[in-house]
Amino acid sequence: MKKIDAKLIQRVNQAFVKVKRSHFMPESLRHMADSDRPFSIGFGQTISQPYTVRNMLLWLAPQKGDKVLDVGSGSGWSTALLSCLVGASGRVYGVERISKLKLWGEHNCLSFGCRNVQFFVAEQSLGLLDYAPYDRILVSAAATEQIPHELLAQLAPEGKMVIPVEHIIYELKKSLTDKIDYCRKHAGYAFVPLVI
C-alpha cells in the first residue's frame, strides 16, 4: 500500500480548517456542518461527508499550480478546497449539471474569497473539453459500470483522476504515453449517480 506524503496530509488538513464546510451548506443545516455525514443540498444532490472528501483529496494529491477539473461541483465546497490546495498559481474549473446548483456553488466560492475558480453548466458531454487537458480530475458522483473514456481523454499525461464507479472509488494515474499506469481501488463508498 502506497504511503501518503506527510506534507500532503498537512496541506489537506489546513485546507479543511480554512475552507469552512458550513459556508457551503443550506442555512438550515449549517449548525450540523461538523457532522461527518452527507447532507442534502437539493435537486437530489448532496454535500459529501468530510471523511470521504478528505480521502479523495489525499488520493488526488493536487499540487500548487495544478489545473483541476471538479466534476459535480454542487455547493462549491470541493471546488473551494481544491482552490486552496492549488494556490493562486493554479486554476479550478467546476462543472455542474444542474444550473441552479452551478449558480449557488459559484456564489458560495466567490463570496468565500476564491479567485482562481470558474464554473460551468455541464453540456451534453462529460467534463469540460474546452480547457483540457487537466493535471487533476475530481469526480464527486458515481459513474455506472465503467470509468468514462471522455474524462480519461481530458486528463493530461502524468495526471491523476479520482472517480467513484458504483461503490468503489478509483484512483488513476496516466503515463507519459497516455496509458493508465497506476490504478488503486477503494471500496465501501456511496455517491449520487453521475448524470450524463
Number of domains observed in the structure of the chain = 1
Burial class (CB in 10 A: 0-12, 13-18, 19+), 67: buried
**Mean pLDDT over each residue of the chain, to the nearest integer:** 93
Q: What is the CATH number of the domain that holds 83?
A: 3.40.50.150
Q: What domain range includes position 40?
A: 6-187
Q: SS3 breakdown of the chain: % helix, strand, coil, rounded to 5?
A: 35, 30, 35
- Give the per-residue pLDDT at 72: 93
Identify whether 104 is part of a domain.
yes
Instruction: Report yes or no: 59 and 186 within 8 Å, Cβ to Cβ.
Output: yes
- Give the per-residue pLDDT at 181: 82
- Give the per-residue pLDDT at 196: 56
Average pLDDT over residues 159-174: 94
Q: Is 28 a catalytic residue?
A: no
**In angstroms, how far is CA 151 from the centroid of its own chain?**
13
Query: What tens digit of pLDDT does each residue of 12-25 get?
Result: 999 999 999 999 99
Is the pLDDT at 175 greater than 80, yes or no? yes
The closest alpha carbon to 72, from 82, 62, 63, belongs to 82
Identify whether 196 is part of a domain.
no
Identify whether 34 is part of a domain.
yes
pTM to 2 decimal places? 0.94
- Give the per-residue pLDDT at 132: 96
Tally of CA atoms within 13 A in the half-sphere of 33 that contains its CB = 15
Is the pLDDT at 99 greater than 60, yes or no? yes
Identify whether 195 is part of a domain.
no
The three-state secondary structure class of 130 is: helix
Identify whether 113 is part of a domain.
yes
Query: What tens digit of pLDDT does each residue of 24-73 get?
Result: 999 999 999 999 999 999 998 999 999 999 999 999 999 999 999 999 99
Identify whether 193 is part of a domain.
no
Cell readout for 125 is: 458531454
CA distances from 66 to 21, 31, 87, 89 (A): 23, 33, 8, 8
Identify whether 192 is part of a domain.
no
Cell readout for 16 is: 479543511
Is the pLDDT at 195 greater than 80, yes or no? no
Catalytic annotation, pick one of 22, 28, 40, 48: 48
Query: What tens digit of pLDDT does each residue of 70-94 get?
Result: 999 999 999 999 999 999 999 999 9
Identify whether 140 is part of a domain.
yes
Angle, CA 45 vertex, CA 36 and CA 133 arms, to 5°: 95
